[in-house]
Chains A and B, each alone.
Chain A
Amino acid sequence: MDIKLDQILFQVLNFGVVFGAIVFLVYKPVIKVLDERAKKIHDADRAAEESLKEKDAIDELKKKEKVRAEKESAKMMEKAREQATELKKELTEKARAEIKLDKEKAMKSWELEKKGEHAAMRKEFVDAVYAVTEKVVGKAVDKKAHAGLIDKGLKELAQAM
C-alpha cells in the first residue's frame, strides 16, 4: 500500500472541486427551490384553511339567513292570505251590493215599463171599446158620462184575463 501525501492532497483538491460544483450549482439552487415550494405550499395551506373558515362562516350566515327568510316568508304569506281573505270578503260584499242595486234598478225600470205598457194597452182597449160601442149603439159615447161604466167593464175584463 502506497500512501503518498501528494496523492492525498490531490484527492482533497479533487473533492474540493466537486464540493464547490455541487454546492453552488446544485445544492443551493435546489434548496432554494424546495424552500420556495415549501413556502408556497404553506401559504396555500393557510389560504385554504382561511377559505374553509370563510366558507363555514358563510354557510352559517346562509343558514341563519335561510331560517330568517323562511320565517319572514311565512309571515308574509300569512299576511297576504289575511289580506286576500279580507279583500275577497270586501269584493264579494261590494259585488253583492252592486248586484242588488242593479236588480232593484232593473225591477223599478221593469215596473215603470210594465205600468206604461198597461196604460197604453188600457188606452188602446178603451178606444177600441168606444169604437165598438159607438157602432153598436149608433151614436157617440160621452167619455165623461160613461167613465164609471167603462172602468167597471175594464176591471171585469182584467179579472177575466
Chain B
Amino acid sequence: MSAIQISISAEPIFHLGQFVVTNSMFTSVLVTALLIVFAVCANRAVTSTSKNSRFRILVEFIIESLQNLTTGVVGTGKRAHLFGPLIVSFFIFILVNNWAGLIPGVGSIGIWEHHGEENIFVPYFRAGTADLNMTIALALISVVLTQVFGYSFQKLKYFSKFINFSNPLNFFVGVLELVLEVAKIVSFAFRLFGNIFAGEVLLTVMTALVPLIIPMPFYGMELFVGFIQALVFSMLSLVFFNMATIGHGEEH
C-alpha cells in the first residue's frame, strides 16, 4: 500500500510571475468557468420563447427555491431583492466547489515532485473550499457585506452596537460585538474548510484502505455534506444580513 499523502494547505502547481497558482485556485477557476457556461446556457434557456426545457425548469426550480428560502427569512420586500442574488451566488458557488472535490481525478491526477530525498505527490486539482484561503475570502465577503447592509439600512446607528459609551456594561457589550464579528469570519471560514477538507481526508483514507465499493457510501455522504455546508453558509449569511439591517427592538 502506497503512503497516503494529505496536505492541509493547497499545493502550488505553477507561477504567473510572482503570483503562485495553487491547485485549489486552478480548480476554482475551472469551476467559475463552468458556472459562467452554466449561466450563459441558463440565460438562453430562460429568455428563449420556445417551450420549457428540462434545463430551464431545473434553473427556475433552483432560483425559486433559494428565493423562497430568502423571503421566508426576510420577507418579501427590499431586503429580499437585495440579499437574494447574494444568497443564490453563495449557495451555487460553494456547492459546486464542494462537489468539485468529489469528481474522479480531483486529488488523484498530479505529479510527483522531488523535495530533497522525499517524493511528494502534488495533485493538479483540489476542491476550492478545501483551501482555507477561499473559505476566508467567502467569510470576509459575508461579514463585510453584513456591515455594509447594516450601515445602509441603519446609517450611523448601526455602529452604536460596537461603540457605546452610555455605560460601562454597554461599552463592554460593544467590544464583545466587535469580537463576535471577527469570530464570525473564523467560524464561517473554519466550518466550511473543516467539513470539506475532513470529507476529502475521509475519502482518501477509505479509498486507500479499500479501493472498491466501501468508499461509495462515503461519497454519498460527502455529496450530502457539500450540500448542507453550502446551505449553512448561505443561511447564516442571510440571517446575519437580516439581523444587521434590523435595529434594536425592531426584531419583534
A8 and B88 form a contact (CB under 8 A): no
B108 CB to closest chain A CB (Å) equals 22
CA distance A76 to B6 in the complex (A): 103
Partner of B136, one of A8, A29, A31: A8
Contact with B along A1-39 (1 / 0, CB 8 A): 111101111111011011101110111111101100000
- Chain A CB within 8 A of B246 CB: no
Q: A11-B25, A11-B28, A34-B64 are in contact. Are A22 and B134 (CB under 8 A)?
A: no
Partner of A21, one of B39, B128, B134, B137: B39
A29 and B43 form a contact (CB under 8 A): yes
Q: A3-B132, A7-B22, A11-B134 are in contact. Are A31 and B67 (CB under 8 A)?
A: yes
CA distance A147 to B144 in the complex (A): 163
Interface residue SS majority, chain A: helix
B85 proximity list for chain A (CB < 8 A): 19, 22-23, 27-28
- Chain A CB within 8 A of B154 CB: no
B residues 130-156 touching A (CB-CB < 8 Å) = 131-134, 136-138, 140-141
Closest residue of chain B to A2 (Cβ to Cβ) is: B9
Q: Which one of B29-37, B115-123, B161-169, B201-209 is at the interface?
A: B29-37
Q: A4-B133, A22-B89, A33-B46 are in contact. Are A14 and B28 (CB under 8 A)?
A: yes
Partner of B46, one of A1, A2, A23, A30: A30
B162 CB to closest chain A CB (Å) equals 23
B36 proximity list for chain A (CB < 8 A): 17-18, 21
Partner of A12, one of B32, B60, B137: B137
B47 proximity list for chain A (CB < 8 A): 29
Partner of A3, one of B92, B133, B138: B133
A57 CB to closest chain B CB (Å) equals 34
A23 proximity list for chain B (CB < 8 A): 85, 88-89
A25 proximity list for chain B (CB < 8 A): 39-40, 42-43
Contact with A along B85-121 (1 / 0, CB 8 A): 1101100110000000000000000000000000000
CA distance A161 to B46 in the complex (A): 125
CA distance A31 to B136 in the complex (A): 30
Closest residue of chain B to A7 (Cβ to Cβ) is: B133
Closest residue of chain A to B144 (Cβ to Cβ) is: A12
A31 proximity list for chain B (CB < 8 A): 63, 67, 84
A126 CB to closest chain B CB (Å) equals 121
**Residues of B bordering A, CB below 8 Å:** 8-10, 19-20, 22, 25, 28-29, 32, 35-36, 38-40, 42-43, 46-47, 59-60, 63-64, 67, 84-86, 88-89, 92-93, 128, 131-134, 136-138, 140-141
Given contacts A19-B86, A23-B89, A34-B63, 7 further A-B contacts (CB under 8 A): A3-B133, A10-B137, A15-B93, A15-B137, A21-B39, A30-B42, A33-B46
